Structure 1
């Protein structure tokens, strides 16, 4: 299903003219060697573009005569047709002579009968260099580019000055040779039934082209389909003949996936997973999807927020109910696994289905918060607040994939998510229940009980709910009230009960809370403002009226409710303080006017 979806995406992009056809790949070229008809080097054109301190290769459509176009073996005998890295073009480094001979042999094998003067000039250039290394000296000792070429990594192709085409790779004979393809009698082929399309008697691809762009895979590329050890084989079949896929289909799905991974608008990072997404036909959801999950750019912090608001509004107005109700949308999460690529998740649904589930995700995470907090939390911001020291590299890789999968499926969030946030709250004495952590707990609990129906459970609201039926919720509120009393009685304390007792209170409240209730009398006596004391006593009475007894132990879900009650009450103190300040300011202003 994954490869079929990618193959269909290739067909769509080919019809749009935005992807290379069969026999070609999208690649980058750094230097163009300009030759005369005798194969002599006339000049070197630097095609690289600068982006800060980085040099970016110029995009080219390049002939791909096999799967080595993106990844060379160690044999030195798998040169590309009329283009390659400088080590092959000039025969540099280990097995340099073999590499240069491979360049010539590839031309002879594919274009040996050509009368094209440009191709013949390139062959002369290479042959003369093979016979006399001094022939390459003009390039390798070039005052500006010589050292770069000698390193062997830059990509090089040719232009023959007296020919009409931009590069020799665009010569008509090259296109004709590629059209003949690998079905030529010069190549050993095995026929079979393609598992992707069901087409029979097609040439089966032995080793699929490599995929580049999946984060943390090896730079030379990796594969989704690969059988490179005897223990992986069955029925005496070797390599990818164990899972036969047509040569053309293998090339197409890899091109489609590489194009997606190279397009920042259709790719995002979730934990260790590189996520790509596409629709079966052009749709604005493709452009918006990444903004719905990724952290906003620093130079455009409101861009993602506006798209999320547009998504929520469009669902309310029914904008996704017509054509988007049938337009399929694909989401593929890829994770690194040595030389292979693991499938972290794969989701297929209509645009309307995905939009509805994403809307529910944002509603799940809606919570009262300080004005300095983002209006919507990105997946990265949620996950990083669960990681040790709030660092990206400490995000548990499997957790990121499970979280994303639950969002897209509309299923309960993984229990590991709740475990991680509670563990992080206990290990972070300074911040404890930050807004994003409270939002995550609220989202987890509500979705869990929505899925596993419980008539006794009332969904947690966005803000303080003094009528919530859960005693544990009010125990969390009580802890917040006791902390606030201590703060106001002893301003400037280095450590409050939050730092010292939160972990114990949220797990074994019957051990900690009675002691803290006794100590609160001492703290109340130290508060000078008697009206404030009365307010606190009234609040404590209201909260204690909803608590029959302190439990000996709280389950994970109950620890979550404790945290939410604590957070809501803390936010209520903040909101009340702002209201008091606003009322006092208004009274002062009125008094001055009088």
Structure 2
């Protein structure tokens, strides 16, 4: 009649909650009147969904074991408590948690080692481990008052899952500074889309939908792109995690909408990319760099004042910014630097044409990537420049 409570689902009642349950039972008063909606055919509580006592004991015991505190097969992402298991013992049961979870304080390099090992085990898109054909199960649970809702359920194989995980890290790979991690944990990616970077501000369904897209190898949710672009505009900062997410979202959307089309966003700066959004992002980065070099130690740059409008309504601000850049260029003491900046500006603007009055969400994302790529390119060490603007 009643199934044992399942404990360990974040956000659910501490005493436990149920996946299979009915709101109430028929009271003596209701017994004489019409049958309540929750007692179809006058069956009460768990008898509405009849399950044998042995399987009830089995599934509740197994879930409580997988969801226990400190479980190596449990991953908390947003409001989704996700558990993993295979039909027989497999390393992937615990590896997937190490790969997507926050790095351990006592072993911060554990995630990097796991992802690196996974990449090495993939050959031409196929997992070559001995358990590649082993069936693998993924269950995402979310709290719903006294009940537990199934956020997602997936049956796959170890090999297929490994391929999807590798694909995810390849999709979000983007140039970054040397001290930053090569493989970003899922929590850090999602936190970059939240207000103040706090876990509690991650949109409720975003975490579960993103994890599901990764594990199933499908397109990232559009809400992930929206949240990333909005954070860039609100904080006027394109961080490494946000740039990685935007690149992954745009390239996956292109791949699934047109499989024959080449992915347009590369890992690092792509001078041949002619997309107006990407070019405008590069242009904005160059204009900011000129301002910084003309005014060493400046507290606020054009990014702090104009990023939002430049990335959404370019025609409203870029003519003004270009005029301003002429003043900044005249203040540069290094003549070679001035010539190089003018040449770079010319190369970028030649591929733009007229400034568009408005950029779509996708082009705002490309704007962010163009800006990020160009800024990262400025960090590269180069040979000193001569007065003629040529490398010595």
Same fold (TM over 0.5): yes
Whether 1:297 and 2:104 are equivalent positions in the alignment is yes
SS at structure 2 position matched to 1:235? helix
Could you tell me whether the CA contact under 8 Å between 2:274 and 2:352 is conserved in 1?
A: no
Which residue, out of 3, 10, 14, partners 1:215?
A: 10
Which residue, out of 209, 216, 220, partners 1:402?
A: 209
Whether 1:239 and 2:45 are equivalent positions in the alignment is yes
Q: Distance in 2 between matches of 1:287 and 1:462?
A: 30
SS at structure 2 position matched to 1:341? strand
Higher relative contact order (CA 8 A, sep 6+): 2
Q: Distance in 1 between matches of 2:383 and 2:105?
A: 35
CA drift of 1:456 comes to: 6.5
Could you tell me whether the CA contact under 8 Å between 1:296 and 1:304 is conserved in 2?
A: yes
SS at structure 1 position matched to 2:183? coil
Whether 1:358 and 2:161 are equivalent positions in the alignment is no
CA drift of 1:323 comes to: 4.8
CA drift of 1:405 comes to: 0.9
Alignment of 1:456-467 (within 5 A): 458-467=263-272
Whether 1:548 and 2:343 are equivalent positions in the alignment is no
Which residue, out of 438, 442, 459, partners 2:243?
A: 438
CA drift of 1:535 comes to: 1.1
**Cα deviation 1:129-148 (Å, max 9, x = unaligned):** xxxxxxxxxxxxxxxxxxxx
**Cα deviation 1:379-422 (Å, max 9, x = unaligned):** 10000000011111111110111101111111111110111011
**Cα deviation 1:564-589 (Å, max 9, x = unaligned):** 000000000011xx3348x99xxxxx
Structure-2 residue corresponding to 1:496 = 301
CA drift of 1:423 comes to: 0.8
Q: Distance in 1 between matches of 2:246 and 2:37?
A: 45
Q: Distance in 2 between matches of 1:543 and 1:456?
A: 24
CA drift of 1:547 comes to: 1.1
Equivalent residues, number: 374
Structure-1 residue corresponding to 2:92 = 285
Q: Distance in 1 between matches of 2:306 and 2:259?
A: 31
Q: Distance in 1 between matches of 2:273 and 2:39?
A: 60
- Structure 1, gaps ≥5 residues long: 1-205, 585-594
Whether 1:384 and 2:191 are equivalent positions in the alignment is yes
SS at structure 2 position matched to 1:349? strand
Could you tell me whether the CA contact under 8 Å between 1:458 and 1:468 is conserved in 2?
A: no
Could you tell me whether the CA contact under 8 Å between 1:332 and 1:343 is conserved in 2?
A: yes
Which residue, out of 393, 398, 421, partners 2:228?
A: 421
Structure-2 residue corresponding to 1:506 = 311
Q: Distance in 1 between matches of 2:125 and 2:318?
A: 50
CA drift of 1:324 comes to: 3.2
CA drift of 1:342 comes to: 1.2
Structure-2 residue corresponding to 1:579 = 382
Q: Distance in 2 between matches of 1:356 and 1:219?
A: 37
Q: Distance in 1 between matches of 2:319 and 2:195?
A: 32
Alignment of 1:20-99 (within 5 A): none
Structure-1 residue corresponding to 2:252 = 447
Structure-1 residue corresponding to 2:370 = 565
Q: Distance in 1 between matches of 2:125 and 2:269?
A: 32
Q: Distance in 2 between matches of 1:348 and 1:371?
A: 38
Whether 1:375 and 2:375 are equivalent positions in the alignment is no
Structure-2 residue corresponding to 1:188 = none
Q: Distance in 2 between matches of 1:522 and 1:360?
A: 46
* TM-score normalized with structure 2 length: 0.92
Is the deviation greater in 237-246 or in 448-457? 448-457
Q: Distance in 2 between matches of 1:546 and 1:411?
A: 33
Alignment of 1:164-179 (within 5 A): none
**Cα deviation 1:8-59 (Å, max 9, x = unaligned):** xxxxxxxxxxxxxxxxxxxxxxxxxxxxxxxxxxxxxxxxxxxxxxxxxxxx
Structure-1 residue corresponding to 2:58 = 252
Q: Distance in 2 between matches of 1:408 and 1:287?
A: 15
CA drift of 1:289 comes to: 1.1
Q: Distance in 1 between matches of 2:357 and 2:168?
A: 34
Structure-1 residue corresponding to 2:30 = none
Could you tell me whether the CA contact under 8 Å between 2:77 and 2:187 is conserved in 1?
A: yes
Could you tell me whether the CA contact under 8 Å between 2:112 and 2:183 is conserved in 1?
A: yes
CA drift of 1:319 comes to: 7.5
Could you tell me whether the CA contact under 8 Å between 1:357 and 1:407 is conserved in 2?
A: yes
CA drift of 1:264 comes to: 2.0
Larger Rg: 1
Q: Distance in 2 between matches of 1:241 and 1:323?
A: 43
SS at structure 2 position matched to 1:232? coil
- Structure 2, gaps ≥5 residues long: 25-35, 387-392
Could you tell me whether the CA contact under 8 Å between 1:217 and 1:337 is conserved in 2?
A: yes
CA drift of 1:295 comes to: 1.3
